[in-house]
Amino acid sequence: MKIAVVGAGIAGLSTAWSLNKRGHEVTLFEQAPRIPNPYAASGDQHRIIRRAYAGADGYARTISEAFEAWDELWADLGTRHYTPCGTLGVSQSPDDEGDAYLKGLDRAGSPYELYEAAEAARRYPFLDAKAIRYAYLNHEGGALFPARIAVDLVRLLRERGVVIREGAAIAAIDADAGRLVLADGEQKSFDRIVVSAGAWVLKLLPELAEALATYRTAVVYLDPPEDLKEIWQAAPVIVDVGGTIDGYVLPPVDGTGLKFGAGIHKRPHRPDEAREPRSGEGEQIRDYFSPPFARIPEYRVDRVVTCAYTFTADRRFFSKQIGRVTAVSACSGHGYKFGAAVGRRVAAGVESGDQVGLLRWLRAE
Ligand X SMILES: Cc1cc2nc3c(=O)[nH]c(=O)nc-3n(C[C@H](O)[C@H](O)[C@H](O)COP(=O)(O)OP(=O)(O)OC[C@H]3O[C@@H](n4cnc5c(N)ncnc54)[C@H](O)[C@@H]3O)c2cc1C
Q: Of these, 3, 5, 19, 40, which contacts ligand X (CB under 6 A)?
A: 40
Please, are residues 246 and 97 in contact by the beta-carbon 8 Å criterion? yes
In 3D space, the residue among 65, 69, 60 whose CA is nearest the CA of residue 87 turns out to be 60
Scanning 5-13, 19-27, 185-193, 351-359 for contacts with ligand X by CB under 6 A, the matching segment is 5-13
Q: Of these, 5, 20, 30, 343, which contacts ligand X (CB under 6 A)?
A: 30
Scanning 17-25, 192-200, 226-234, 345-353 for contacts with ligand X by CB under 6 A, the matching segment is 192-200
Q: How far is the CB of 164 from ligand X (least distance, A)?
A: 11
**Binding of ligand X at residue 8 (CB under 6 A)?**
yes
**Binding of ligand X at residue 307 (CB under 6 A)?**
yes
Q: Which is nearer to ligand X, 40 or 153 (CB)?
A: 40
Scanning 34-42, 87-95, 96-104, 273-281 for contacts with ligand X by CB under 6 A, the matching segment is 34-42
Please, are residues 291 and 235 in contact by the beta-carbon 8 Å criterion? no
DSSP-derived secondary structure letter, 37: P
**Sequential DSSP letters for 232-294:** HHTPPEEEE--TTS-EEEE---TT--EEEEEGGG-EE--TTSS-SPPTTHHHHHHHTTTTTBS
Q: How many angstroms separate the CA atoms of 151 and 35, rounded?
A: 7
Handedness of CA 2, 205, 332, 33 (dihedral sign): positive
Q: Of these, 335, 340, 345, 346, which contacts ligand X (CB under 6 A)?
A: 335
Q: Of these, 5, 7, 193, 247, which contacts ligand X (CB under 6 A)?
A: 7
Q: How far is the CB of 28 from ligand X (least distance, A)?
A: 9
Q: How far is the CB of 331 from ligand X (least distance, A)?
A: 5
Strand-pair category, 325-329 with 318-322: antiparallel
Q: How far is the CB of 313 from ligand X (least distance, A)?
A: 16
* Residues 106-145, interacting with ligand X (CB under 6 A): none
Give residue 170's identity as a one-letter amino acid code. I
How many residues at the interface with ligand X, by CB under 6 A? 38
Q: Of these, 17, 18, 24, 47, which contacts ligand X (CB under 6 A)?
A: 47
Q: Which is nearer to ligand X, 9 or 224 (CB)?
A: 9
**Binding of ligand X at residue 6 (CB under 6 A)?**
yes
**Binding of ligand X at residue 87 (CB under 6 A)?**
no
Kind plus residue range of the DSSP H or E element containing 301: strand 300-311
Q: Of these, 29, 101, 288, 293, which contacts ligand X (CB under 6 A)?
A: 29
SS3 20: helix
Please name the residue ranges forming H helices in the chain: 10-21, 57-77, 97-108, 117-123, 146-159, 201-204, 229-233, 281-287, 339-352, 355-362
* Residues 248-267, interacting with ligand X (CB under 6 A): 261
**Residue 195: Cβ within 10 Å count:** 29
Q: Which residue number has the CB closest to ligand X?
A: 9
Interface residues with ligand X (CB under 6 A) are 6-12, 29-32, 37, 40-42, 47-48, 169-170, 196-200, 204, 217, 219, 261, 307, 309, 329-331, 333-337
